[in-house]
Amino acid sequence: MKCRDIIKELSSYLNGETDRALMAEVERHLAHCEDCRLVVDTTRKTIHLYCNSQPAPLPDDVRSRLHKALENRLRRRSS
């Protein structure tokens, strides 16, 4: 397996979707290729950072306009 093949399999590998034989091949390559290890590690961290990040609070003005718009719609519906 070459470095290029590792990149092509990267997403499946990180998703745990590769079959056992392919997984073993990837890990054999990673054991001796520091460059690929770095790519796998930093890509894993990229996903981790995004999937664990909390959404920022809504800016007050944005939130206030949203609730005003909803209130108007709800009021119209109930009248």
Partner 1 sequence: MTCAPRARPTNSMDPTPAKPTKAQVSISEGEGTLVAQAKAGDVGAFETLVNRYERKIFRLAMNITQNKEDAEDVMQEAFLKSYAHLKDFQGDSRFYTWLVRITVNEGLMKLRKRRPGQVSLDEKIETEDDLMIRELEDWGPSPEQHYEQSEMQRILQEVIGDIDPSFGIVFALRDIEDLSTEETAEILGLSVPAVKSRLLRARLKLRQKLNRYFGKREAN
Residues that bind partner 1 (CB under 8 A): 3-4, 7-8, 10-12, 14-17, 35, 38-39, 41-59, 62-63, 65-67, 69-70, 73-74, 78
| Nearer to partner 1 among residue 24 and residue 69 (C-beta) | 69
In the complex, what is the shortest distance from the CB of residue 30 to partner 1, in angstroms, rounded to a whole number?
14
Given a contact cutoff of 8 angstroms between Cβ atoms, the answer to whether 5 and 22 are in contact is no
Is the backbone of residue 16 left (phi > 0), alpha (psi -120 to 50) or beta? Answer: left
In sequence order, the 6+-apart residues with CB closer than 8 A to the CB of 3 are 29, 33, 35, 36
In the complex, what is the shortest distance from the CB of residue 32 to partner 1, in angstroms, rounded to a whole number?
16
